[in-house]
């Protein structure tokens, strides 16, 4: 299963890309600023990076140049609103493998992603089916959770919610983001279903695991 890092600070665009890629069998992680993009790209094995140039903290071209300077050869698709020819040339000169301008159609992005992965087989890695965080282990294959070696059964929604938090440790996730990633668009944004399910996870995995960030959402403590 290919792992794709999405560096995008616009929540709805990020959610749109994540949802589309996951529906086609890819595993995704999200970075919302320059620092988290660099940290995640350097600390994890990803098969491809989708990079927005307008990230908070640092221009995306600088991030790309730094990654290439460190010898990181992960395929990079720039996805940006900058459509000037000079911007495109600068992107390729910085080390991009492809360049897509916004607005875009997901079908085109998907085709470009598949093409870059086919052209770079040496970077394709088999993703571990296990995510570990402290004393908690999520097995993505069996859909079971272990806390201090004790197996805990989680219903599908609770497991998906836990997986979402575990893939974004330390990142504040809004209720709207969690609704979209776990339940899709079928639920009223004003619903308290996210709060209810976070409560379920706290009872089963530990009350201090997920903290409330007042006025913003929830975060997995790091």
Q: What is the pLDDT of residues 89-102, one digit of tens each?
A: 999 999 999 999 99
pLDDT of residue 73: 85
Mean pLDDT of the chain: 87
- Hey, what's the torsion of the CAs at 149, 153, 156, 158, to 10 degrees? -70
Q: What is the pLDDT of residues 5-57, one digit of tens each?
A: 999 999 999 999 999 998 888 889 999 999 999 888 876 678 999 999 999 99
Longest Cα separation, the chain: 57
pLDDT of residue 123: 45
Q: Given CA atoms 198, 46, 21, 216 in this order, what sign does their dihedral have?
A: positive
Tokens of 182: 């776990």
Give the percent of the chain with pLDDT over 90: 53
Q: How many residues does the chain have?
A: 222
Q: Which domains, ranges and CATH numbers included, belong to the chain?
A: 3-123 (3.40.50.2300), 130-220 (1.10.10.10)
Read off the pLDDT band of 187 (50, 70, 90).
low
Neighbouring CB atoms inside 10 A of 82's CB total: 18
Mention every residue, 6+ apart, whose C-beta is less than 8 A from residue 139. 129, 130, 145, 146
pTM exceeds 0.75, yes or no: no
Average pLDDT for residues 151-176, to the nearest whole number?
A: 88
């Amino acid at each position: 299963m290919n792992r794709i890092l999405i560096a995008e600070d616009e929540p709805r665009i990020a959610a749109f890309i994540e949802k589309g890629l996951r529906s086609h069998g890819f595993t995704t992680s999200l970075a919302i600023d320059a620092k988290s993009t660099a940290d995640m790209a350097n600390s994890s094995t990803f098969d491809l990076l989708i990079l927005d140039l307008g990230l908070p903290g640092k221009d995306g071209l600088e991030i790309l140049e730094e990654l290439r300077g460190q010898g990181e050869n992960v395929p990079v698709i720039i996805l940006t609103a900058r459509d000037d020819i000079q911007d495109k040339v600068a992107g390729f000169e910085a080390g991009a493998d492809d360049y897509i301008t916004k607005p875009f159609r997901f079908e085109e992005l998907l085709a470009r992603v598949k093409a870059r992965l086919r052209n770079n087989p040496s970077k394709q890695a088999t993703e571990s089916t296990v995510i570990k965080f402290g004393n908690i282990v999520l097995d993505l294959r069996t859909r079971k959770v272990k806390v201090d070696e004790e197996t805990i059964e989680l219903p599908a929604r609770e497991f998906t919610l836990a997986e979402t938090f575990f893939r974004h440790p330390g990142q504040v996730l809004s209720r709207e983001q969690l609704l979209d990633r776990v339940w899709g668009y079928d639920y009223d944004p004003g619903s308290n279903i996210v709060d209810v399910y976070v409560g379920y996870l706290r009872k089963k995995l530990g009350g201090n695991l997920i903290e409330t960030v007042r006025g913003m959402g929830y975060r997995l403590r790091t």
